Amino acid sequence: MINTPILVIGYNRPSVAHETLEMLAQSSPIKVYFAIDGPKNEKDKCLVDMVKEIYRAGIAGASCEYYENDFNQGPEKTITNAISEVFKKEDRLIILEDDVLAPYSFLLFAEKMLDLYAEDDRIAMVSGSNLSEAHSVCNQDYFFAYMGNTLSGWATWRRAWNDFNLYEDFHISRRTLMQRFRNKRMQRFFNRNYHTFSLLPRGINTWDCCWQFERIKNNKYSIIPRVNLTSNIGVKGTHFIAKTIFHNASYDESFRITNIVNDVIINEAWDEAVFKKFLSTPFPWSFITWICTKCKVIRLLYDEHRKQLQRT
């Protein structure tokens, strides 16, 4: 049984939604919130209606509440608005998008961490994913890092989410980045990315980039499990069109916490390993990516300018 409230966010993938909800039901959650984005068109409406039917069936023994968009608002607003709405009622929350397989081992881990660090303002979230286990601290069941992600299930508190801003300006000093990361490549990467984001119209950046920025800017940590506890099965979706290294990862269903970490210290080696494995791009691809990003920025700025002209 899981006593912590859980938010499930869905859209137009009924088969994926059905599979992940089946696994969630096995953990007997007490309280589940469902948020479903609206359709983009008539074809989309059929799929969205199927997802609504799956979620409206609920979970046996669970109290369920629903947030359903009448029209498509996109993942940025659907996810962040749903989290903010639930936090009007709850002080902590486990968040699962419709493509996340979340076994009991993760839900129990998240619940334990949410209880244990509820009053520790240094901690902002609990991650279910650890795809760089080789660099974990072997004698600890979990550790702390800046690079926790939300792709495969996570959890947080209202006190931490209060810092979130979807319309973030992404202004951060080099000095702050130097304080967070000793690795110069990481400093340059985040400085370049956040500068690029700052040029975009507010509110169109992916919400998880805004959430990560808030954590880095405010020196907030993520709790990372020693082993991977969840799996993202959404091979096709908003941000992916094919399987990547983030998808269909194996997870440990037998994991249980056996020791509590006394010292809250950033695991720099793990942060660097995650950066190197998932974010760092060697030259010349890094240069090509930079050019493509600049072109995207110019196009977005141009589109925004056209919209403003049409309004006037």
Cα of first residue to Cα of last residue in the chain, in angstroms, is 56
Q: Are 2 and 92 in contact (CB under 8 A)?
A: no
pLDDT of residue 289: 47
Parallel/antiparallel/unpaired status of strands 92-97 and 6-10: parallel
Q: Are 163 and 259 in contact (CB under 8 A)?
A: no
Pick the CATH number of 1-98 from 3.40.50, 3.30.110, 3.40.1350, 3.40.1710: 3.40.50
What b/e string do you get for 20-46 counting C-beta neighbours within 10 Å, with b at 16 or more? bbebbeebebebbbbbbbbbeeeeeee
Class of domain 100-280: alpha beta
Residue ranges per structural domain of the chain? 1-98, 100-280, 282-312
| Of the candidates 98, 117, 85, the residue with the CA atom closest to the CA atom of residue 19 | 98
Alpha-carbon torsion angle 252, 257, 258, 259, nearest 10: 130
pLDDT of residue 237: 53
pLDDT of residue 196: 87
* Sign of the alpha-carbon torsion through 96, 214, 263, 189: positive
- Along the chain (312 residues), what's the average pLDDT of each consecutive run of 10 residues? 97 96 97 97 94 96 96 93 98 97 98 98 97 74 94 96 93 96 95 87 79 96 96 68 70 95 93 89 47 51 57 58
**Secondary structure letter of residue 153 according to DSSP:** -
Angle at 153 between CA 199 and CA 85, to 5 degrees: 70
Q: Which residue has the tokens 């939604």?
A: 17
- Classify residue 310 by burial, with Cβ atoms within 10 Å: 0-12, 13-18, 19+: exposed
Phi and psi angles of residue 66, each rounded to the nearest 5 degrees, phi first: -130, 140
Phi and psi angles of residue 310, each rounded to the nearest 5 degrees, phi first: -65, -35
pLDDT of residue 184: 95
Q: Are 2 and 103 in contact (CB under 8 A)?
A: no
State how far Cα 305 lies from the chain centre: 30
Q: Are 164 and 80 in contact (CB under 8 A)?
A: yes
**Secondary structure letter of residue 89 according to DSSP:** T
